[in-house]
Amino acid sequence: MTVSVVLDALQVQAVRAGGMLLTLSSAQAQSIIAQSDPLPPDPPQPPVVLIPGLTVKVIEGIVPAPGPNTNYFTDPRGGPGVPASLRNGFMVDDCLVFKFRAPASPVPYFHIGVSETGAGAAGGNYMRTMTLSTTPADFGKGLWHRVDTGASLDLSVGPGQRIRLVAGSAYYLNICNRDKDGQPSIGPPGRGDVFIEVVNPR
């Protein structure tokens, strides 16, 4: 039997095959809809993976950037929202959390990059584990995950082929100086400075 349900402000009518007309209450009709067309389950969320022994240090990022772009350094150059503890270096046992909030309205493109500072041994080209997540200090798969010397994330709010974010939601780009096996990736002086760049659409 095929049931067709039409809703209006006063009553709900259902027409069965064969032309017989039934008058149903709203509650009865909603029950039919719920049974015949259940909502799909929410997709499973990737598990959160925390690395023990890391000291979490947070940069409060600004997105969109207050100009064409904004840089955040883990050395004395610092930048907006860079705490004093990171202006003294991104150390081997630090977890750098770049916290930002997605723009409140649709944005087709913006970019966040991670690069070494290149300032001597402390700013060398070291392997890092990086995850974009809705959880701080998460090094699971998240929305994006990479083990590399740097990163280039193309992001959007709303439709697009890039990493899509939810308008107004908080996100965390988590970075640590660890290789793919979870081992420290830098030797003496135990420091691997980076800068994070936020680039607005042009």
Q: What is the pLDDT of residue 10?
A: 35
For residue 21, give the amino acid letter.
L
Q: Where are the domains of the chain?
A: 3-36, 55-199
Residue of 118, 120, 122, 114 lying closest to 149 (CA atoms): 114
53 close to 93: Cβ distance less than 8 angstroms: yes
Domain 55-199 has CATH 2.60.120: yes
102-115 burial: b if 16+ Cβ within 10 Å, else e: bbeeebeebbbbbb
Region 17-41 average pLDDT: 53
pLDDT tens, residue by residue, 31-43:
654 555 454 555 5
Q: Which two tokens stand for residue 1?
A: 């039997």
How far apart, in whole angstroms, are the C-alpha atoms of residue 53 and residue 112?
Answer: 27
The DSSP code for 105 is: S
pLDDT tens, residue by residue, 84-128:
999 999 999 999 999 999 999 998 889 999 999 988 778 888 999
Sheet holding 12-16, edge to edge: 3-7, 12-16, 21-24
CB atoms within 10 A of CB 9: 5
Q: What is the pTM of this model?
A: 0.76
Q: What is the pLDDT of residue 18?
A: 45
pLDDT tens, residue by residue, 119-132:
877 888 899 999 99
Parallel, antiparallel or unpaired: strands 21-24 and 12-16: antiparallel
For residue 58, give the amino acid letter.
V
How far apart, in whole angstroms, are the C-alpha atoms of residue 44 and residue 53?
Answer: 28
Q: What is the pLDDT of residue 12?
A: 35
How far apart, in whole angstroms, are the C-alpha atoms of residue 150 and residue 191?
Answer: 15
Coil, strand or helix: which one is 27?
Answer: helix
How far apart, in whole angstroms, are the C-alpha atoms of residue 139 and residue 184?
Answer: 14
